[in-house]
Amino acid sequence: MLGMSRREFLLGSAGTLTAFAGGSLIANHASAADLTLPIKTLSHSLLPDTVTENMMGFGAGGPPPVLRLKQGEAFTIDVVNQLDEASIVHWHGLRIDNRMDGVPYLTQQPIEPGEQFRYTLVAPDAGTFWYHPHCNTLEQMARGLTGVMVVEETEDPGFDQDLPLNIRDFRLAGDGQFTSLFKPRNAARGGTLGTVSTVNWQSEPVYDLPAGSLTRLRLAVTDLTRVGTYDLSKADAAVIALDSNPLSKPIAPEGIVLSPGQRADIALRVPETEGEIVTLTRRSAKGPKVIARFRAIGTSAGRSLSELRPLAPNPVPEADLANAEVLDFVFGWSPESTAPQPGICGSLGYTFWSINRVAWEGDTPNPVEPLALMRLGKSYILRFRNETPNAHPIHLHGLSFKLLRSNKRALPPLVTDTALLLAEETMEVSLVADNPGNWAFHCHVIEHQKTGLTGYIRVD
Ligand code: C2O
Ligand code: CU
Ligand code: CU
């Protein structure tokens, strides 16, 4: 066994078993995956005293498990589709091999009911990410298929605990059962909001944390629609990363705008006094709405935020702006001439939106032409022009980009995979096209994505 990895050992023993079984090797993988992730329907109590039926989940039951990877290390996941419709899983924000990106027809065939697919993920960046289907997304995500994924830094920053917060709404009627998942008239506007707000599938959870300890809160907005502004009450805390990229200067956890797909990592020093509570709220017209509470328990661990090691920047290359080519992307209404094609991954049969005048729903067996071609290794400036009166969280798969400037506001130099483009805003971002393949590019308001605000960019 000396010098043999666990994986090689498993491979070896599986081979031996095959020989004994007379060569009847039917499994397509000789070794077990690091994780088996079933996708299935389930029921769960989202609200007290009621059980919501017809939910969809990952894993054994309950809220989707937090997946934990290590930066730079391969991790294999067998996704087993136990639904009675096709599905697929996308790992939002991971700059991985295109074949593992989980987009139907563009990177792989949908996973049919009863079938499974092995994803091998090697995450170059550390931070907070998430995962969700990219098939019939409006329904599958609405019913629960959104989970948080953590990629741990190679160097431990020194927290006492790590608390992922999967923030999303569900559209439930008064009886706790799903109501219409969206309304077409809203799909043509800002999108349809949920009715019940949850964190880790609970409404207003209270988390007990050791007094005076250091906690890493990982906020991940996996909602289909809602853009929110979040505040952490009177706490000794700082935002240390946004969309998985560390901030060079941590900022106060006040007025953090997070749109669907976006994340924020907050370093929180739990209050010293037993019973003291820190509250995470979201702003609303009716005043702050409580999202979650954090309560100090026990005697103080006496730690301080200054003991944390700063997070190392992720290895995202800097664009060469002097030699970058500018590519234009216009987000607008759907041209009337476009007839959407049906796909087994769920078409609504109509479109409202477009990118560069092309309306695509992202799931048809014959993808449209790429919106742009990028040469591998070259630098680009992408100019996003929003012609519409609605905001759009614009997301690019497989590549991270840096915010440069806007015609509406001063932009911090953030590196991200999802940027909120305001109504009628023009924003420029830069990137190096260092990851080959066809990369989906879409609005993360899922109703917009499904009604035309989707395309892809080819890097080769
Ligand atoms: Cu969260 Cu196409 O992605
Ligand atoms: Cu993505
Ligand atoms: Cu949108």
What residue segments make up the domains of the chain, in order of their start?
6-152, 161-307, 321-459
pLDDT average, residue stretch 210-236: 97
Ligand 1: which residue has its CA nearest to atom 1? 92
Same fold, 161-307 and 321-459: yes
Cross-sheet strand order for the sheet of 263-269: 196-199, 161-170, 214-221, 263-269, 236-242, 245-251
CA 143 to chain CA centroid, Å, is: 16
CATH of domain 321-459: 2.60.40.420
* CATH code, 6-152: 2.60.40.420
Query: Tell me, what's the pLDDT at 123?
Result: 98
Q: Is the CB of 216 under 6 A from ligand 1?
A: no
d(CA 364, CA 343): 4
Nearest-CA neighbor of 267 among 251, 281, 291?
251
Q: What is the pLDDT of residue 25?
A: 37
ipTM comes to: 0.99
pLDDT of residue 201: 98
Query: What tokens were used for 193?
Result: 């909001």
Q: Which ligand is nearest to the CA of 220?
A: 1
Task: Output the furthest CA–CA distance in the chain (Å, rounded).
Answer: 69
Question: Degrees (nearest 5) of the Cα angle 87, 134, 389?
Answer: 145
Tell me: pLDDT of 15 over 90: no
Read off the pLDDT of each residue in 80-93 and give the average, rounded to a whole number: 98
Distance in angstroms (rounded) separating the CA atoms of residues 85 and 135: 9
- The first and second tokens of residue 199, run together, are 């964190």
Token pair 């009863």 in the structure block, residue: 114
Cβ atoms < 10 Å from Cβ of 87: 26
> What is the spatial distance between Cα 350 and Cα 361, in angstroms, rounded to a whole number?
9
Q: What tens digit of pLDDT does each residue of 225-284 get?
A: 999 999 999 889 999 999 999 999 999 999 999 999 999 999 999 999 999 999 999 999
Whole-prediction pTM value? 0.92
Is any ligand 1 atom within 6 A of the Cβ of residue 448? no
Q: Which residues of 122-151 are buried (b: 16+ CB within 10 A; e: fewer)?
A: bbebbbbbbbbbbbbbbbbbbbbbbbbbbb
Query: Does the beta carbon of 134 lie inside 6 Å of ligand 1?
Result: yes
Measured from the alpha carbon of residue 132, the closest ligand is 1
Mean residue pLDDT of the chain comes to: 91
Q: What is the pLDDT of residue 361?
A: 82
The residue to which tokens 């931070």 are assigned: 127
**How far is residue 223's CA from residue 192's CA, in Å, rounded to a whole number?**
11
| Sheet (strand 392-396) strand order | 372-374, 454-459, 437-443, 392-396, 418-421
Residue 348 burial by Cβ neighbours in a 10 Å radius (0-12, 13-18, 19+): middle
Architecture, CATH, for domain 161-307:
Sandwich (2.60)
Ligand 1 centre and the CA of 146: distance in Å? 11
Ligand 3 centre distance from Cα of residue 450 (Å) = 10
**376 secondary structure, DSSP code:** T
